[in-house]
Amino acid sequence: MMAEQQKAEEISLQWIKGQLDNFADLEDRQLTAPAGSVKLLYVKSITDPQIINRSIIAPFYEMNDPAAYKEYLAHYPGSEAVKDSKQVLDLMLGGYACVEVEQRFIFFDALKAETSSVSQTMTESITQGPSDALTENLAVNLNLIRRRYQSAELKMESMLIGNISRTKAAILYDDSRVNHQVLDELRERLSTLRVDILQAAGELEKYINSDKVRIFPKTIVTERPDRVVFNLAEGKIAVMLDTTGFAIVLPVIFNDFFVAMDDKIQLPFVGRFLKLLRILGVAMTLWLPALYVAFTSYNPEIVRVQIALLIAGSRATVPYPSFVEVLIMLVMMEFLTEASLRLPRAIGPTATTVGGLILGQAATAAGLVGNIMIILVSVVAISNFMIPLNMMSFSIRVLKYLFVIAAAAVGLVGVVVCLVGFTMYLCSQRSFGQPYFKMFALDRLGSSGTQKGGRS
């Protein structure tokens, strides 16, 4: 008790006010009652006036006894005694009210959190299953997770990231399943992180990955609490930030990006089929434009003669080489996608329809683009969106141009070379020291017996 007081003496109200100079929303009040007076200091915009009224001001006048009031404040849950001057500022900016009573500073938690309530998922919709999304409030998020993962093994560590934004981050993991090597690496990377502002989960994702050139996401950024829980149970780590509705899951493997949460709900065969569809979709998006270029410009001998003649017919009026045609249409499609993303919800679909249908029609009618090209571009666009996680879907979207360029340079050979390079590159990637892409199925095959025994 004494030690605390001595430390607190270093800080004066005046000092705090000096630090928070030019704060228009700083409230500085002196409450005076017959038995004595206290000083109250808080930042109005992030404190809850109700809490201030009900828990700080009203009791003071009712009790009319500064000593008892001090005890009351000091033992109120959420109030803190200070340790050093730096913490004082953190608390003040974190929504605490500073009360000076009998030469002692007590910081009272009066944070007003403007939070949206738990809402529906927006970016990862599924047909069945829970539709809660993570919110922008860490406490609510933790609530969402804890409710789904009722295990004493679920550990949580918290830290502050960002010199200015002071974003609260929570690291969640299942202690009995997590790979501690990965955990240590994550802790190290987070603690060495030097940024000013951290606002989004994706941003953190970018900072904690070490490699300079990255094409593929190495962590999942998700808004679904059930995905977080599912991954926690698999021994992964989740990092959650206050003020963003997304969590980061790591380490991940390539296949994780093709798991939608309703795969678990579907019957096993249906689930497998859906996953296969997605992988097929990726293959289509990556290859179709490239193969079109290869088939029309270098190797028309590959497809059967009937198809070759069809392609030749549809291209009869097109005045430029096939890869220009492909690039034009693909870029057009990207415009459409981007545009409909940014447009208000009400007119988004209109833009897509108008753009997609009319533009395609007109382009073929004008003879600028072949019919087959339009089909192809639509297939590419549609299959691209089959990937459940946005980060990966964007990566694939960009990567297909690489394939197109390779095909334009050397035809089929280029496509195959690109495929091999792509696979090898994926295999050389590591997510937090763990392999990113390999035949995981075969690894499990060897040890399946022991695992089953352990679980049952």
Partner 1 sequence: MNQSRYVYWMFLMNSLLNILNFVPRELLDARFRGAQTSILVAAVLGTAFLSVFTILIAKFPGKSIQDILETALPKGLIIPLIIMFASLWCVAGLITILSFVDITMRFVSPDTGPGIVIISFLVLVCFCARMDSLSVLYGMEMLLAIILPLILYAIIKALVNPDFSWDSVLQIMTYSAHAPDLKSIAAATFSFSGYFNLAIFNRVLPKMKMKHSWVYAVNGLAVLLLTFYVPIGYFGTIGVEKHVYTWFSTADSIRIDTFLIERMLFIFYFAYLTLSLVSVTVHWHVGKELLTGLFPRKQAKNRSTGWQELAILGMFSGITLILMRLDQYQLNEFGVVFLYARWFGELLMIMLLCYCYAVAYRRRNP
Partner 2 sequence: MRKLLLYIGVVLLCLTTGCEYKDIDRRIFVVAIGIDSGEAEDFKVSLKLAIPQGEVTKIDEKMQIITEESNSISEALRLMKSRVEKELDYVHCKSLIIGEGLAGRDIRHVLDWAVRRRDIQLILNFAVGRPEALDVLKVKPPSERIPSNSLIMAMSGQGTESPFIASVYSYQLMRDVYEQGKDPILPVIEAEGETQFRIDKIALLDKQKVQLVLNPEESRLFNLLTRPDLRTNFPARVDDSEFQYYTESSKSAYKIISSEPGAPVVRYKIKINGIVEENSTQELITHNLLEQISDAGEEALEQSVEALLEKIKKKRLDPFGWGLRYGTRHWNNETEAEEWAALFPVLKLEVAADVRIKYSGLIK
Residues lying near partner 2 in the complex (CB under 8 A): 295-298, 300-301, 305-306, 308-318, 321-323, 367, 371, 405, 408-409
- 96 in Cβ contact with 11 (< 8 Å): no
Residues within window 378-407 making contact with partner 1, judged by CB under 8 A: 406
Query: Which of partner 2, partner 1, none sits in contact with 437, Cβ below 5 to 8 A by type?
Result: partner 1
**Should residue 417 be labelled a site residue for partner 1 when binding is judged by CB under 8 A?**
yes
Which tokens belong to 449? 């017996």
Minimum separation from the CB atom of position 443 to partner 1 (A): 7
Residue whose CB is less far from partner 1, 298 or 323: 298
**Should residue 126 be labelled a site residue for partner 1 when binding is judged by CB under 8 A?**
no
Minimum separation from the CB atom of position 275 to partner 1 (A): 16
Which tokens belong to 354? 């108008």
Stretch that binds partner 1, among 100-108, 157-165, 233-241, 408-416 (CB under 8 A): 408-416
Residue whose CB is less far from partner 1, 70 or 315: 315
DSSP 8-state class, residue 416: H
Site string for partner 1, 205-244 (x = CB under 8 A): ----------------------------------------
Q: Would strands 167-174 and 154-161 be described as parallel, antiparallel, or unpaired?
A: antiparallel
Site string for partner 1, 152-191 (x = CB under 8 A): ----------------------------------------
- 126 in Cβ contact with 263 (< 8 Å): no
∠ Cα 416 417 422 (to 5°) = 95
Site string for partner 1, 423-442 (x = CB under 8 A): xx-xxx------x-xxx--x
Residue whose CB is less far from partner 2, 273 or 320: 320
**Should residue 410 be labelled a site residue for partner 1 when binding is judged by CB under 8 A?**
yes
Minimum separation from the CB atom of position 89 to partner 1 (A): 41
Rg (CA), the chain: 29
Residue whose CB is less far from partner 1, 159 or 427: 427
Residues 304/310/313/314 CA torsion (nearest 10 deg): -130
Q: Would strands 430-431 and 434-435 be described as parallel, antiparallel, or unpaired?
A: antiparallel
Minimum separation from the CB atom of position 329 to partner 2 (A): 16
Residue whose CB is less far from partner 2, 96 or 295: 295
Residue whose CB is less far from partner 2, 251 or 411: 411
* 3-state SS assignment for residue 89: helix
Minimum separation from the CB atom of position 312 to partner 1 (A): 16
The whole-angstrom separation of Cα 88 and Cα 232 is: 35
Query: Which of partner 2, partner 1, none sits in contact with 347, Cβ below 5 to 8 A by type?
Result: none
Residue whose CB is less far from partner 1, 235 or 435: 435
Residues within window 265-324 making contact with partner 1, judged by CB under 8 A: 298-299, 301-305, 307
Residues 326/332/334/335 CA torsion (nearest 10 deg): 170
Residue whose CB is less far from partner 1, 358 or 424: 424
The whole-angstrom separation of Cα 313 and Cα 301 is: 15
The whole-angstrom separation of Cα 238 and Cα 149 is: 13
The whole-angstrom separation of Cα 93 and Cα 74 is: 20
Query: Which of partner 2, partner 1, none sits in contact with 447, Cβ below 5 to 8 A by type?
Result: partner 1
∠ Cα 180 181 184 (to 5°) = 80
* Cis ω for the linkage preceding 251 (within 30 of 0): yes
- 400 in Cβ contact with 283 (< 8 Å): no
The whole-angstrom separation of Cα 362 and Cα 61 is: 78
Residue 297's closest CA among 140, 441, 412, 167?
412
Minimum separation from the CB atom of position 421 to partner 1 (A): 5
Residue whose CB is less far from partner 1, 204 or 291: 291
Q: Determine whether 361 is exposed, middle or buried from the number of CB atoms within 10 Å of its CB (0-12, 13-18, 19+).
A: exposed
- 393 in Cβ contact with 387 (< 8 Å): yes
Residue whose CB is less far from partner 2, 2 or 305: 305
Interface residues with partner 1 (CB under 8 A)?
Answer: 298-299, 301-305, 307, 406, 409-414, 416-417, 419-421, 423-424, 426-428, 435, 437-439, 442-443, 445-447
